[in-house]
Amino acid sequence: MLTSVMAARDWSQQIQDHPDDSQWLSRQEDTLYPVIQSSLYKPPAFHDAVELLMRVFPHYALVLFHVKRWSPLLLQALVQAQDLRDNEIQIRILTHIGEAYQTLDKNEAAYEAFQIALARAGEGQFKAMMLAAYIGLIRMQSVSMGDEYDPNLLTQALVLSHEIDDLALKAALHQSLSLANIHTRETVAAIEHGQIAYVYWHYLKNDLERAKTLYLLSAAYRFMWRLKQAEELLQKAAEGFENTSYNRQYTFLAYEAGALYLQRKEYEAATQWLMMALREASNIDYTALIISSQHGLGIAQTGLGQFDEAEANLQHAINGWQTIKNYRNYILDKPI
């Protein structure tokens, strides 16, 4: 058991020694997974194993998109934390579970996880954890916007952020608010929040989140019909993604390029880009982008007079949106 404790602590230290080396971290996945998995069931090593899991889960699950592999470890950790009645760890795990479900397009399960995390964090007055749960809920609302949509969440989260010093959480909040305002077509607010998020991520030297924010800003300008600025920002986002390990970048960039051409009514070019986005999304089994690409393709093919192909893609999109319970069936509506 002592060996397990030391193994988890040693790996945590090694990760601290490589804070900005995503390639190094990526190479350690097959070694780290069994270390964490075995340590979760050994009480002396549990807390060290959970801390290690919290450190690496965002990279392996949300950047490399190996979420199906890593999600079961979260559920195992949650069961153990419940047995130990460790409420604070349970809240942190629940927030990550919400992110995992969101990434897998399991919207109802994600919403439930974030709601539970928010309630428990509120009871314990864990304000940073409350904000993390708010961010998750805002992103979920941006996807579904069904009957449970609560616009007050945005204001509540923004007020709470003034009581918290964590700059990464503040940046993530403004990024989520930018996404939310894109989906409600409040593009001026979307740009304002996106610019604030970008400043924070730039200060924190987080290349991945900076590139994601540029991508959101590109979408916001596209919805304002400022297409030249949208294209310029998309190019900057592409350059930013090149310095990261984010394996969704190709499908996102191809999709947004297709959406730009679609908005210009250049249907042939739009079709080519959207087919590329569909292939890339299929390669990584990313359901929301598969559906979004089919939706966009249906519109582009309609413009080309390819009505049979358009009908097939639009029907696939309708079925897909219903399956994942996404009630905002616009072209862009997906979290990144």
In angstroms, the CA 225 to CA 274 distance is 20
If you write DSSP's letter for every residue of 248-266 in order, what string do you get? THHHHHHHHHHHHHHHTT-
Torsion 97-281-213-188 (CA) sign = negative
In angstroms, the CA 192 to CA 178 distance is 8
- Overall residue count recorded for the chain in this entry: 336
pLDDT of residue 9: 84
In angstroms, the CA 40 to CA 79 distance is 10
Amino acid at 283: N
pLDDT of residue 146: 58
CB atoms within 10 A of CB 48: 21
Query: Helices then strands (H, E): number in the chain?
Result: 17, 0
Token readout for 254 is: 């191809």
244, 240, 246, 245: which is closest to 218 by C-alpha? 240
Max CA distance (Å), the chain: 68
> Tokens 């540029």 label which residue?
214
In angstroms, the CA 180 to CA 105 distance is 17
Kindly state the helix (H) or strand (E) to which residue 24 belongs, with its residue range. helix 22-27
- At the top level of CATH, the class of 247-336 is mainly alpha
CATH number of 166-244: 1.25.40.10
> Tokens 């199906």 label which residue?
68
Token readout for 120 is: 């428990």
CB-based contact 295:331 (threshold 8 Å): yes
Phi-psi region of 244 (alpha: psi -120 to 50; beta: other; left: phi over 0): beta
212 alpha-carbon distance from chain centroid? 10
pLDDT of residue 148: 62
pLDDT of residue 163: 95
Q: pLDDT tens string for the chain (336 positions)?
A: 445 556 888 888 888 888 778 889 999 999 999 999 999 988 788 999 999 999 999 999 999 999 999 999 999 999 999 988 889 999 999 999 999 999 888 888 999 999 999 999 999 889 999 999 999 999 988 776 555 668 889 999 999 999 999 999 999 999 999 999 998 889 999 999 999 999 999 999 999 999 999 999 999 999 999 999 999 999 999 999 998 989 899 999 999 999 999 999 999 999 999 999 999 999 988 888 999 999 999 999 999 999 999 999 999 999 988 887 775 654 444 444
Numbered ranges of CATH 1.25.40.10 in the chain: 166-244, 247-336
